[in-house]
């Protein structure tokens, strides 16, 4: 059901609204008429229903016309960007839409639902690597989709409005040379896009109260943070800065930015603690040492030791009611891997016996895929009962770390340490004048790059001292992109979640998605949590299109039945 963003009473002064005006002829002064309460940029953000081109795609052999609303800028004050940007791979790219190319949406409406205001909105975020995601078009004229393999084709076939949402993110350089994508920019932009859809709900096809967010990896992290933090006032000042819909001139909000459902894959999230978790998982059973990927043993020891207190502090519980601590975590991971294997077996999949080859595609997110094999020395199956009879965690983690090389130590907050930065998110933090900043205690205190303005040696402050300064943005940045900081709070956390994390994913610790799932399970606002480690999947997403789409369809039905 459509709802108007603001009640008609607000168009008049409160005194006039609903008052008995029968004495109007005897009053000497005219009733006060005040300006309607609107967001400062709302009139500039009105959706133009006529501004589309029709493209044709073929889905499962059926020609399907689609209306394409191209590069719709969803903010009133977009940040002008430099024409030359660096992509995730490190290659330079030249962008054409410098005015709003990182704060726009490509909106694709199947012609069959052009007048349907109840259909769902499939909101896809594309910030791989937590990098800025320039506006892209997943639907192009003449494209062919197989709806059993393509989430884009399946969403269009289901009659959803499909939207590619661009956002700022790390690495982004503004026209004035500042770094415009520092945290929480990606979340703020995604919220601004949701607000645009709510503002224009009655003019647009689709139901802005039925937004389903889809994202993988950095996008899974973004989806989770967006889903967790609905309507939180923490983001309002940032939303005001970019002229988001429904933010008034005085900075208050008259539009909501919560969403209905999250479909997240391998979320790279809880970045403030991701280094601790990574070292704990890959050292607790000696995996780094076993596979010879052990670049910083003292760092590993220091980080994994901190994991214990962090994990206990989350106060989470397993499904059986047992506290989820560092003591019970290996058992919890093992139970999830076994559950994943048994669901796979029950669906008709086969798992090789001990001593036989497990084949897998190496590569993962965005990387070329090649098929490789590994002699199964870690999981035993009874194929008659389709049950796992034993699982050796030490050998399992060795398998994971063999089929994909482990990240460095630390895994995420890497820059500024003499250890080679092979990936890492440090450039998402700090001020917009800093290329990067460390954002965790370990990396700040071990920063050994002289002259980068970061770390103890350059600032004279330890992390504890520095992060406590009111001028230090890092802790706030870490919080604002972390779903764990919002689940179970007063935020309007999305009621429906589908989260997958591959059993072979070495990009972030398994504890990250397990903790996310347990926090969601404990939140009374969450109506349905469909969480699983995905059998034999690497760091990847959208590999389970029929299952995910069936869940989305069931979710929409359930939400409608509940009046959501
Ligand atoms: C992604 C992968 C990573 O290893 C990471 O640290 C952040 C993001 C990604 O694939 O999006």
Q: Which domains does the chain have, with CATH numbers?
A: 43-268 (3.40.50.1820), 430-472 (no CATH)
Q: Is 507 in the pocket of ligand 1 (CB under 6 A)?
A: yes
Q: How many CB atoms lie within 10 A of CB 302?
A: 18
Q: Whose CA is nearest to atom 4 of ligand 1?
A: 507
Q: Is 218 in the pocket of ligand 1 (CB under 6 A)?
A: yes
Q: Which atom of ligand 1 lies nearest, measured to the CA of 217?
A: 11
Interval between CA 133 and ligand 1 midpoint (Å): 13
Interval between CA 268 and ligand 1 midpoint (Å): 6
Nearest CA to 310 among 297, 326, 321? 326
292 Cβ partners below 8 Å, 6+ apart?
A: none
Q: Could you tell me the pTM of the whole model?
A: 0.94
Q: Cα 351 to chain center, whole Å?
A: 31
Interval between CA 227 and ligand 1 midpoint (Å): 19
**Predicted local distance difference test score (pLDDT) of residue 366:** 62
Q: Is 268 in the pocket of ligand 1 (CB under 6 A)?
A: yes
Q: CA–CA separation, 393 vs 387, rounded Å?
A: 17
For a substitution probing ligand 1, which of 128, 167, 412 has the most ligand atoms within 8 Å of its CB? 128
Give 193-207 pLDDT, tens digit per residue. Answer: 999 999 999 999 999
Interval between CA 367 and ligand 1 midpoint (Å): 12
Q: Tens-digit pLDDT profile for the chain (564 aa)?
A: 444 443 333 333 333 333 333 333 444 566 677 777 899 999 999 999 999 999 999 999 999 999 999 999 999 999 999 999 998 888 999 999 999 999 999 999 999 999 999 999 999 999 999 999 999 999 999 999 999 999 999 999 999 999 999 999 999 999 999 999 999 999 999 999 999 999 999 999 999 999 999 999 999 999 999 999 999 999 999 999 999 999 999 999 999 999 999 999 999 999 999 999 999 999 999 999 999 999 999 999 999 999 999 999 999 999 999 999 999 999 999 999 999 999 999 999 999 999 999 999 876 556 677 899 999 999 999 989 999 999 999 999 999 999 999 999 999 999 999 887 677 999 999 999 999 999 999 999 999 999 999 999 899 999 999 999 999 999 999 999 999 999 999 999 999 999 999 999 999 999 999 999 999 999 999 999 999 999 999 999 999 999 999 999 999 999 999 999
Q: CA–CA separation, 140 vs 308, rounded Å?
A: 49
User: If you write DSSP's letter for every residue of 361-413 in order, what string do you get?
Assistant: EE--TTS--EEEEEE--SEEEETTTTEEEEE-HHHHHHHHHHHSPPP-SSSSS
**Predicted local distance difference test score (pLDDT) of residue 369:** 76
Q: Which atom of ligand 1 lies nearest, measured to the CA of 508?
A: 4
Q: Is 423 in the pocket of ligand 1 (CB under 6 A)?
A: yes
Q: Is 437 in the pocket of ligand 1 (CB under 6 A)?
A: no
Interval between CA 166 and ligand 1 midpoint (Å): 17
Interval between CA 511 and ligand 1 midpoint (Å): 16
DSSP alpha helix (H) spans, 1-87: none
**Predicted local distance difference test score (pLDDT) of residue 430:** 98
Q: Whose CA is nearest to atom 1 of ligand 1?
A: 129
Nearest CA to 564 among 269, 226, 46, 208? 208
Q: CA–CA separation, 42 vs 244, rounded Å?
A: 8
């Amino acid at each position: 059901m459509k709802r108007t963003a603001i009640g008609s009473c607000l168009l008049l002064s409160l005194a006039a609204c609903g008052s008995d005006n029968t004495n109007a002829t005897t009053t000497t002064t005219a009733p006060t008429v005040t300006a309607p309460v609107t967001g400062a940029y709302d009139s500039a953000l009105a959706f133009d229903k006529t501004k589309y081109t029709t493209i044709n795609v073929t889905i499962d052999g059926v020609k399907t016309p689609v209306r394409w609303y191209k590069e719709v800028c969803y903010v009133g004050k977009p940040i002008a960007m430099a024409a030359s940007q660096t992509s995730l791979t490190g290659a330079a790219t030249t962008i054409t839409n410098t005015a709003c190319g990182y704060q726009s949406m490509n909106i694709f409406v199947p012609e069959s639902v052009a007048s349907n205001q109840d259909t769902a909105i499939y909101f896809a975020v594309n910030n791989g690597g937590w990098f800025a995601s320039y506006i892209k078009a997943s639907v192009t004229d003449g494209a062919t989709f197989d709806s059993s393999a393509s989430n884009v084709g399946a969403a269009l076939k289901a009659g959803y409005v499909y939207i590619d949402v661009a956002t700022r993110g790390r690495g982004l350089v503004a026209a004035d040379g500042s770094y415009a994508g520092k945290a929480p920019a990606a979340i703020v932009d995604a919220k601004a896009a949701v607000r645009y859809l709510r503002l224009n709900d009655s003019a647009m096809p689709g139901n802005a109260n039925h937004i389903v967010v889809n994202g993988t990896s950095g996008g899974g992290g973004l989806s989770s943070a967006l889903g967790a933090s609905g309507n939180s006032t923490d983001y309002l000042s940032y939303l005001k800065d970019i002229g988001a819909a429904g933010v008034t001139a005085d900075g208050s909000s008259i539009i909501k930015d919560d969403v209905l459902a999250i479909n997240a894959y391998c979320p790279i999230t809880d970045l403030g603690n991701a280094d601790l978790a990574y070292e704990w998982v890959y050292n607790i059973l000696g995996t780094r040492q076993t596979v010879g990927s052990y670049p910083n043993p003292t760092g590993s020891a220091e980080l994994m030791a901190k994991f214990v207190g962090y994990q206990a502090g989350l106060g989470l519980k397993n499904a059986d009611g047992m506290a989820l601590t560092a003591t019970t975590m290996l058992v919890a991971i093992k139970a999830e891997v076994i559950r994943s294997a048994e669901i796979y077996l029950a669906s008709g999949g086969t798992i090789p016996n001990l001593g036989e080859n497990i084949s897998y595609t190496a590569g993962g997110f965005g990387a070329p895929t090649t098929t490789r094999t590994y002699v199964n020395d870690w999981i035993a199956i009874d194929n008659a009962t389709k049950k796992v009879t034993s699982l050796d965690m030490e050998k399992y983690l060795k398998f994971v770390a063999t089929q994909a090389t482990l990240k460095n130590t630390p895994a995420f907050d890497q820059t500024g340490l003499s250890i080679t930065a092979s990936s890492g998110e440090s450039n998402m933090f700090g001020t917009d004048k800093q290329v990067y900043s460390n954002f965790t205690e370990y990396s700040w205190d071990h920063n050994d790059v002289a002259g980068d303005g970061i770390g103890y040696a350059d600032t004279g402050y330890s992390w504890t001292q520095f992060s406590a300064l009111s001028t230090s943005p890092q802790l706030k940045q870490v919080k604002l992109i972390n779903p764990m900081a919002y689940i179970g709070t007063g935020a309007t956390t999305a009621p429906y979640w589908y989260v997958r994390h591959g059993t072979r994913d070495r990009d972030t610790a398994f504890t990250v998605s397990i903790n996310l799932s347990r926090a969601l399970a404990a939140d009374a606002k969450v109506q349905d949590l469909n969480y699983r480690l995905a059998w034999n999947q690497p760091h990847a997403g959208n590999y389970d299109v029929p299952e995910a789409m069936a869940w989305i369809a069931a979710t929409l039905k359930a939400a409608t039945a509940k009046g959501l």
